A and B are shown apart, each in its own frame.
Chain A
Amino acid sequence: MIAFTVVYGVLAVVWYRLMHRYTIEGAPDEVHDDSPEARSDDDADRPLSFAY
């Protein structure tokens, strides 16, 4: 029971630190639309990554 409580205590610390860190960081100042349809349509000019 003691070991179990310690494990849960550690989890609580991990959760709190992560939530605190990313809350303080706030919303990003800049965002980009990374979706495939938003990318420029110049794929034909790109070198092939794989060629057989």
Chain B
Amino acid sequence: MDVLDLARWQFAITTVYHFIFVPLTIGLGPIVAIMQTAWVITKKDRWLKLTKFFGKLFLINFAIGVVTGIVQEFQFGMTWSAYSRFVGDVFGAPLAMEALAAFFVESTFLGLWIFGWDKLNKKLHLAMIWLVAISTNLSAFFILAANSWMQHPVGTTYNPETGRAEMTSIGDVLGNSTLWAAFPHTVTASFLTAGTVVTAIATWWMVRLARTKKADDLEKARNVYRPAVRLGVLVMVVAGAGVIYSGDVQGQLMFQQQPMKMASAEALCEPSPNGAAFSILSIGDLNNDCEGVTRLISIPGATSFLADRSFTAPIKSVPELQAEYEQKFGDTDADGHPIDYSPNLALTYWSFRLMIGWAAFSLALAVFAFWATRKGRVSDSLWLSRLGLVSLATPFLACSFGWIFTEAGRQPWVVAPNPTGLDDVRLLTARGVSDISPGSCSPR
């Protein structure tokens, strides 16, 4: 394993691990704020109980999320120093804004929320958790601005003297069309995750209490946990619709901005002049080649429709794009090695499907929980409780596979070329890694 593989593995592990905590923090903060708002408005104790309960889970998750995220900053300098040098002028501003939103605004108001229950008046204290929720989402916006720039660089020129990308317009970087599709998709997926967690935990408690048949327990199940289930389901339905819509917009942008990623999502190895199908079930090996995939069930024209709103729109295949990129960007790197411009097809193909598949569990839980608690009912169904427990993990898996697809699909680029005119601003992942050998800490 060379230094590039080690650096990629380390960053991938750190990022996927960090992102277990991020969606729950982004989504649960506003849900806790909604619960506290319901308490302030209705003065019903049930909402205060739920605020304290889910607020505690939010704080645990927030703390671990911060710890796991800090490591990433160090990796930029240690293992990705060439990349950091290249993107530093562009990333500096959004990352500083992210740090201000996350570490100053968010943490300050979270502290005031934790310690201010008996010191601030109700409405001011409520404002604290809303400020936490808003700043959490704001920090997500700025970090996604940096990531979206790597997918689709804008507002930048390449300085050949310094060998760096230099920002010409922060407005263009923050107005990047990729960002305005990625941000709603990430935030709605986070709300779906948090809604699923709230529904799953509240469902488990509701069923557990209802099965004791004791009057006190039944009352608690009805008055405390059933409203939490209904709120969780509402969040899941609204967020689920948002995830589907924003994901569809992202798909169309991906077709225009990163056609290789689109072709890789379907492992499209044959030309499709009359439209490309979307395969639901395939078999194949995990090699990065076109011979490994055999499609068993496909929806004709569906990939073309997702990409360009036409069932017959031609989609360029991986070999066609490889030939195009070789002509445009060269067929060998600086060391004379041939460049494979296609990502790992097995990884992109399956991660795209696993993202959608795991998210479907949340839909199943939302439908079952909504039906089981209709017209004031309290459910004692063990099947509902079990589905809740299984569904606890699935939105996290969906989020992780979504990001694995997004990042792996951009390879071999760490900064993908923008096909609409910023071709100079691009960087191969292999050129972004630090110039050190494994086990050493100084340049070769």
Q: Which residues of A contact B (CB under 8 A)?
A: 1, 4-5, 8, 11-12, 14-15, 18-19, 22-23, 26-29, 31, 33-38
Encode B383-414 as 1/0 by CB contact (under 8 A) with A.
00000000000000000000000000000000
Q: Is the CB of A35 within 8 A of B224?
A: no
Q: Which residues of B contact A (CB under 8 A)?
A: 6, 9-10, 13-14, 17, 21, 45, 48-50, 52-53, 56-57, 60-61, 64, 67-68, 71, 117-122, 125, 201, 205, 220, 224-225
In the complex, residue of chain A having the shortest beta-carbon distance to the beta carbon of B43: A33
Q: Is the CB of B48 within 8 A of A33?
A: yes
| A-B pairs with beta carbons under 8 Å apart, 14 shown | A11-B67, A18-B60, A19-B60, A22-B60, A27-B49, A27-B220, A29-B220, A31-B45, A33-B48, A35-B118, A35-B120, A35-B121, A36-B118, A36-B120
Q: Which residue of A8, A22, A26, A29 contacts B17 across the interface (Cβ within 8 Å)?
A: A8
Known: A15-B64, A22-B57, A23-B201. 18 other contacts (CB 8 A): A4-B10, A8-B14, A8-B68, A11-B64, A14-B64, A15-B60, A19-B60, A27-B49, A27-B53, A27-B220, A29-B220, A31-B48, A31-B52, A33-B122, A34-B118, A35-B117, A35-B121, A35-B125
Q: Is the CB of B122 within 8 A of A28?
A: no
Complex CA gap A5/B14 in Å reads 9
Residues of B within 8 A of A28 (CB): 49, 52-53
Q: Is the CB of A11 within 8 A of B50?
A: no
Q: Is the CB of B121 within 8 A of A37?
A: yes
Interface of A is mostly: helix
Complex CA gap A41/B328 in Å reads 77
How close is A20's CB to chain B, nearest CB, in angstroms?
A: 10
The 9 closest A-B pairs by CB, nearest first: A27-B53, A34-B118, A27-B49, A15-B64, A35-B122, A18-B60, A31-B48, A34-B117, A22-B56
Residues of A within 8 A of B45 (CB): 31
Residues of B within 8 A of A26 (CB): 53, 205
How close is B230's CB to chain A, nearest CB, in angstroms?
A: 15
Q: Is the CB of A27 within 8 A of B224?
A: yes
Residues of B within 8 A of A19 (CB): 57, 60-61
Complex CA gap A48/B186 in Å reads 52
Q: Is the CB of A23 within 8 A of B57?
A: yes
How close is A19's CB to chain B, nearest CB, in angstroms?
A: 6
Complex CA gap A36/B118 in Å reads 6
Q: Which residue of B49, B53, B121, B201 contacts A36 across the interface (Cβ within 8 Å)?
A: B121
Residues of A within 8 A of B117 (CB): 34-35
Complex CA gap A19/B10 in Å reads 26
Complex CA gap A4/B71 in Å reads 10
In the complex, residue of chain B having the shortest beta-carbon distance to the beta carbon of A14: B64
In the complex, residue of chain A having the shortest beta-carbon distance to the beta carbon of B21: A15
Residues of B within 8 A of A14 (CB): 64
In the complex, residue of chain A having the shortest beta-carbon distance to the beta carbon of B17: A8
Among A12, A14, A29, A34: residue with most chain B CB under 10 A: A34
How close is A8's CB to chain B, nearest CB, in angstroms?
A: 6
Q: Is the CB of B52 within 8 A of A27?
A: yes
Residues of A within 8 A of B67 (CB): 11
Complex CA gap A14/B186 in Å reads 26
Residues of A within 8 A of B14 (CB): 8
Complex CA gap A22/B21 in Å reads 17
How close is B414's CB to chain A, nearest CB, in angstroms?
A: 20
How close is B76's CB to chain A, nearest CB, in angstroms?
A: 15
Complex CA gap A31/B170 in Å reads 48
How close is B32's CB to chain A, nearest CB, in angstroms?
A: 13
Complex CA gap A35/B116 in Å reads 8
Complex CA gap A12/B64 in Å reads 9
